[in-house]
Amino acid sequence: MPYRIVDISDYKISKNSGDILVTYSLGSCVGVVIYDPVIRIGGMIHCMLPLSKVDRNKAEQRPAMFVDTGMQLMLNQLFESGVRKSRLKIAVAGGAHILNDDNLFKIGERNFTVLRKILWKNSMLMNVQDVGGSISRTIRLHVGSGRFTVKSQGTEVHYDLPQKD
């Protein structure tokens, strides 16, 4: 099956049932998967930083670098492709922190906080969250089946983004 790699500060949307979207090495970055199980369209984004105000120029060139601009972009595109909010399944992974996380490097926690706010404002619920800790994660979405996996330190956990609640 063809892997489609989502790089850091990038996102991809697919409606090819054979595709597997994958993003590697989520540390403090957050990876978000949004999936419509009825029309089987999925999107995956890998955001590095919480808010675009830290570097407006970069946010224009690479909106997916930031949680705020990136989520807005991916959601808009998903809605244009016909996904419905009422059917969406959402999986989130990453937001980890280095061992002795002090104030300076709380990027992971801030990424997750900003993400949660955006989802909450849009009345969207997270179906899967695998966040925090001091581990790095690799996530995959099988577009055809809605299977979502999180791999970390050699172990892989499977979730099925269900067809119905």
Partner 1 sequence: MTYLKKIERRIKEFPEMPAMCRTLLQSLEDPDVDFKQLEEQIQYDPGLTSNVLRLANSAYFGATGTVTSLRVALMRLGTRRVTEVVTAIMVSPMMLRSLSGYDLRSQNLLQHSVWVAVASEELAKLMGYRDVKMLFTAGLLHDMGKIILDPFVWEQRDSLLDDGLTQSFDEREREHFGMSHAQAGGALLTKWNIPEEITVTAKWHHDPESVTDYAEQVNMVHLADILGYSEGVGAGIDGMKYNVSPVAHKRLGLKKSDIEYVASVTLDKMNELESLLT
Which among 22-30, 68-76, 123-131, 156-164 is the span making contact with partner 1, rule CB under 8 A?
22-30
Q: How far is CA 144 from the centre of its chain?
A: 18
- Is residue 65 involved in binding partner 1 (CB under 8 A)? yes
> At its nearest, how many Å lie between partner 1 and the CB of residue 132?
10
- Is residue 124 involved in binding partner 1 (CB under 8 A)? no
Helix, strand and coil percent figures for the chain, each rounded to 5: 25, 35, 40
Give the nearer residue to partner 1 in terms of CB position, either 104 or 121: 104
Residues 54, 84, 120, 163: which binds partner 1 (CB under 8 A)?
Answer: 54
Nearest residue to 24 via CA among 137, 153, 120, 147? 137
- Is residue 135 involved in binding partner 1 (CB under 8 A)? yes
Tokens linked to 25: 């090495």
The Cα 17–Cα 105 span in angstroms is 38
64 and 47 Cβ atoms separated by less than 8 Å: yes
Q: Which residues bind to partner 1, rule: CB under 8 A?
A: 8-9, 24-29, 48-50, 54-55, 58, 61-62, 65, 96-108, 133-136, 153
